[in-house]
Amino acid sequence: MTEQLYRKTAEGLAYNYSSSLIVNILQFFTSVILVKFLTVGDFGTYGILMVTIGALVLVFPFSALQRFLPQYFQEGRPRLARRLVAAFVLYTAVALAFFALAVALAHFLGFAALDGGLLLVFGIAAALSVFSGLADSVLVAVLEQKLRSIARVIYSVIFFGLAYVFLSQGLAVEGVFYALAIATLALVLFTGIAAFGKVFPKESGKAKEKAGARIDSRAVLSYSAYSTLSSLGDVFLSIILDIWLVGIFLGAYYAGLYTFAAKTAQSLVILSPVAMVSVAIFPFIVKKYTETKSKEQLSYFFGLCGKLVAFFAFPMAAGLVIFSRPLISIVFTPEYLAVSSIFIVSVIAFTVSGFRVGVVMVYNTLGKPQIGLKAKALFAYNIAADVILIPAFGLYGAVFATASSAILLFAAEYFMTSRLLPLKFPKASFARSLLAMLAMSAVLLIVLPMISGILSLVWGIAAGIAAYFGVAFLAKPFSQRDRDFFAKAGIVGKFFAFFSKRA
pLDDT at 254: 92
> Rounded CA gap, 10 and 23, in Å?
20
Residue 347: inside a domain? yes
pLDDT beyond 60 at 408:
yes
> Rounded CA gap, 203 and 209, in Å?
13
Residue 439: inside a domain? no
> Rounded CA gap, 255 and 386, in Å?
14
Chain-centroid distance of CA 68 in Å reads: 20
Residue 332: inside a domain? yes
Q: φ, ψ for residue 478 (rounded to 5)?
A: -105, 150
Contact 184, 128 (CB under 8 A): yes
pLDDT at 117: 77
pLDDT at 286: 67
Residue 38: inside a domain? yes
Q: What angle do CA 303, 358, 319 make, to 5 degrees?
A: 90
Average pLDDT, the chain: 83
Domain carrying residue 43: 2-200+216-425
Residue 110: inside a domain? yes
Contact 432, 475 (CB under 8 A): yes
Q: Which one, of 442, 402, 403, lies nearest residue 322 by Cα? A: 442
Q: Which one, of 294, 365, 268, lies nearest residue 70 by Cα? A: 365
Residue 438: inside a domain? no
Q: Is the pTM of this model over 0.75?
A: no
Tens of pLDDT, residue by residue over 301-327, are: 888 888 888 898 899 899 999 999 999
Residue 461: inside a domain? no
The one-letter code for the residue type at 209 is E
Q: Structurally, how many domains does the chain consist of?
A: 1
Q: φ, ψ for residue 333 (rounded to 5)?
A: -155, 140
DSSP string, 217-250: HHHHHHHHHHHHHHHHHHHHTSHHHHHHHHHHHH
* DSSP, res 282: H
pLDDT beyond 80 at 494:
no
* Residue 341 pLDDT level (bands cut at 50, 70, 90): very high
388: helix, strand or coil:
helix
Q: What angle do CA 68, 73, 74 make, to 5 degrees?
A: 95
- Quickly count: other Cβ atoms within 10 Å of residue 331's Cβ: 15
Count, residues in the chain: 503
Helices vs. strands in the chain: H and E counts, helices first: 22, 0
pLDDT at 10: 57
Contact 432, 476 (CB under 8 A): yes
Contact 276, 24 (CB under 8 A): yes
Beta bridge partners of residue 500, listed in sequence order: 478
* Residue 16 pLDDT level (bands cut at 50, 70, 90): low
Residue 472: inside a domain? no
Q: What angle do CA 410, 273, 161 make, to 5 degrees?
A: 115
Q: What is the mean pLDDT of residues 445-456?
A: 93
* DSSP, res 500: B
Contact 280, 9 (CB under 8 A): yes
Tens of pLDDT, residue by residue over 35-46, are: 889 988 888 889
